[in-house]
Structures are given as structure tokens and as C-alpha cells.
């Protein structure tokens, strides 16, 4: 079984991650900060946005993959994948400037947690029943 649905969302999220990485590089050049954040709040913010994506997306994709491998309905998988993608776009846009756009940042974070909770619960349920 090839996990086509997870592959789709992993690919789309990879493209988003490359975009975020490019933005971080641009901030580094603009702020003239080439290592760490040097105490620059704009650079620190860019680094946190990038790190936040790297912290949450892999686990969400693992949960999506496991659910797909266990035969979860395609519609449910697409719903989780689409919500995750939208959540990470919202979060990135909400953090992209200072001060943050709280509704986008918070909404994106909440949606990401929702995907993790639903994906985690679905995998636990399948493992137990």
C-alpha cells in the first residue's frame, strides 16, 4: 500500500517549509545576522516561526501516515491534511511580522493542535480496538 494522501500533504508542507526557510534567509540578510539571532527580535521571531514548523509538522505527518496505513477513510485523511496545511499557513502569516497577527497565529496553532489530537486519538483507538 502506497500512502498517496500522506505523500500529497507531505509534499505540499515541504514546499511551504522551503518558502519559510527562504523567508528566514531573507530576514538574515536584511538584519545582517548570519549566526544565531544576535539579540535581534526580528531574527529571533523568524527563527521561532521556522522552528515551530519543524517541531509540529513531522509528528502530524507521522500520525497521518499511520492512520492512512491502517485504512482510515480518504475523506478523513484529506480533512486532516488540509486542516494541517491551512493551519501552518495561518500560523506562518500570523508570525511573519511584529507585532504578530494574533488571530492567524493562534488560530493556526489551535488547528495544528486539533490535527494532533484527532490524529493521535484515531491512532490510539485503532490500536486498542
In percent, the amount of the chain with pLDDT more than 90 equals 87
Q: Within 1-129, where are the H helices?
A: 4-31, 41-69, 74-95, 102-128
* Cβ–Cβ < 8 Å for 79, 9: no
Question: Rounded distance, CA 87 to CA 69, Å?
Answer: 23
Q: Which three cell numbers stand for residue 112?
A: 495544528
Q: What is the pLDDT of residue 39?
A: 87
**Cβ(94)–Cβ(105) below 8 Å:** yes
What topology does CATH give the domain 4-128? 1.20.120
Cell of 39: 539579540
Average pLDDT over residues 74-79: 97
Taking the chain, what is the end-to-end CA distance rounded to the nearest angstrom?
A: 22
| DSSP state for residue 82 in the 8-state scheme | H
pLDDT digits (tens, 9 = 90+) for 9-50: 999 999 999 999 999 999 999 888 888 888 889 999 999 999
pTM of the model: 0.93
Look-up of cell digits 484529506: 78
Q: At what angle do helices 74-95 and 102-128 cross, to 10 degrees?
A: 150
Residue 103 · residue 46 · CB < 8 Å? no
Amino acid at each position: 500500500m502506497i500512502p498517496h494522501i500522506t505523500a500529497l500533504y507531505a509534499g505540499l508542507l515541504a514546499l511551504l517549509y522551503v518558502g519559510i526557510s527562504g523567508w528566514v534567509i531573507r530576514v538574515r540578510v536584511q538584519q545582517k545576522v548570519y549566526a544565531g539571532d544576535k539579540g535581534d527580535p526580528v531574527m529571533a521571531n523568524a527563527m521561532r516561526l521556522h522552528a515551530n514548523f519543524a517541531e509540529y509538522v513531522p509528528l502530524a505527518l507521522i500520525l497521518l501516515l499511520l492512520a492512512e496505513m491502517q485504512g482510515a477513510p480518504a475523506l478523513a485523511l484529506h480533512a486532516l491534511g488540509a486542516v494541517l496545511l491551512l493551519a501552518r499557513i495561518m500560523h506562518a502569516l500570523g508570525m511573519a511580522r511584529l507585532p504578530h497577527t494574533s488571530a492567524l497565529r493562534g488560530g493556526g496553532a489551535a488547528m495544528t493542535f486539533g490535527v494532533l489530537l484527532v490524529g493521535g486519538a484515531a491512532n490510539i483507538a485503532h490500536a486498542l480496538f
